[in-house]
A = this chain, B = another copy of it.
């Protein structure tokens, strides 16, 4: 199968075949990062621009490492040191970058739909590295890759996503992806953090974490993103934690071999207790980060004509 897309904007529009192709390509790249010489020449002479309008360590670093291990030239632009401060529009910034002939522009932006706007306007490939509360497709792909490795499959698994669903692009992308791949997705969170009509996405919704995680194979905890909440939607972190923190007690409700995931950065003791986050018998959080580099290598490769 050949990968035909110009851009990776969201999981919503990807087919099962496309997701499988990406995951298989990523699996084949995983080994490169364990070599003594962690570098292959397949993207030599390609230019990748990381255009980050929001602060990021892991995602930007992951894309930069992915690009460099494929021998691409990587250019970082962060909003704080760019002409954004001079009031240039996103469209003009993108068109200017386009004129410098990059091959891929990776964009993170606080506005939902920003990558889609760019994808329509510029001829280069766009990868959405997170747009507002909309999608974060590379996160969902690395999550699916992690689940597949630990469980051998995605279809038929029961997956609980817990926390601030409303503000989470990670949740949205994973709901699309996991449902497509045949998993049963259930959600839990305070009523103020659940989007209306979320059941229309084909998921079951609970208010209590205990109801959601009962008997599941995978628990995905979300980060409380205080910076994205426009209003006070819960009384206090302490109260949130009392009801929704994953800990030694409530995790017993899940399957014995449950795996625990988190997109990071973790608020220790808020959405997940430190002993669970650090427990190698269930936590696959750092494994997710590891898969992230491979998934991004796969996408950079496929979008620049890999396999042709």
- Which residues of chain A have a CB within 8 Å of any CB of chain B? 33-39, 44-47, 49, 52, 55-58, 61-62, 64-65, 68-69, 73, 75, 77-78, 80-89, 92-93, 95-102, 227, 264-268, 286-287, 289-290, 292-293
Residues of B contacting A89 in the complex (Cβ-Cβ under 8 angstroms): 268
With A39-B44, A65-B102, A88-B265 already in contact, 14 other A-B pairs whose C-beta atoms are closer than 8 Å: A33-B101, A37-B45, A38-B47, A38-B101, A61-B75, A61-B97, A65-B73, A68-B73, A69-B73, A80-B80, A83-B265, A96-B265, A100-B292, A101-B290
B92 touches A33 (CB 8 A): no
Q: Are A75 and B65 in contact (CB under 8 A)?
A: yes
**A87-B267, A289-B99 as given contacts; A56 in contact with B38, CB under 8 Å:** no
The answer to whether A95 touches B286, judged by C-beta atoms less than 8 angstroms apart, is yes
- What are 17 of the A-B contact pairs (CB < 8 Å)? A39-B45, A39-B73, A47-B68, A52-B81, A57-B77, A57-B82, A57-B96, A61-B77, A86-B265, A89-B268, A92-B265, A93-B265, A95-B286, A96-B264, A99-B289, A100-B292, A101-B290
A81's contact among B65, B80, B93, B287, by CB below 8 Å, is which?
A: B80
Are the CB atoms of B45 and A35 closer together than 8 Å? yes
CB distance A96 to B286 under 8 Å? yes
Q: What is the minimal beta-carbon distance from A17 to any residue of chain B, in angstroms?
A: 27
- When chains A and B are docked, how far (Å) is the Cα of A124 from the Cα of B58? 17
B-side contacts of A57, CB under 8 Å: 77, 82-84, 88, 93, 96
| C-alpha spacing A38/B96, complex, angstroms | 18
Residues of B close to A88: CB separation below 8 A:
57, 264-266
Tell me the complex Cα distance, A4–B289, Å: 29
Chain B residues near A97 (CB, 8 Å)? Answer: 61
Contact residues in B for A78 (Cβ distance below 8 Å): 81
> A100-B290, A287-B99 given as contacts; is B49 within 8 A of A85 (CB)?
no
- Among A56, A86, A268, residue most surrounded by chain B Cβ atoms (within 10 Å): A86
Q: Select which of B36, B45, B289 is within 8 A of A38 by beta carbon.
A: B45
Could you say which residues of chain B place their CB within 8 Å of the CB of A83? Answer: 55-58, 264-265
- Complex formed: what's the CA distance from A268 to B92 in Å? 10
Find chain B residues with CB under 8 A from A39 CB.
44-45, 73
The interface residues of chain B lying within 8 Å CB-to-CB of A101 are 33-34, 38, 290, 293
Residue of B nearest to A40 (CB): B45
**B38 and A99 form a contact (CB under 8 A):** no
The 5 A-B pairs at the shortest CB distance, nearest first, are namely A37-B45, A88-B265, A99-B289, A39-B45, A57-B82
Q: Which residue of B lies closest to A46 (CB)?
A: B38
Q: Which residues of B contact A267 (CB under 8 A)?
A: 87
Q: Which residues of B contact A95 (CB under 8 A)?
A: 286
How far in angstroms is the closest Cβ of chain B from A255? 25
Contact A49 B69 (CB under 8 A): no
- Give the CA-CA distance A56 to B79 in the complex, in Å: 10
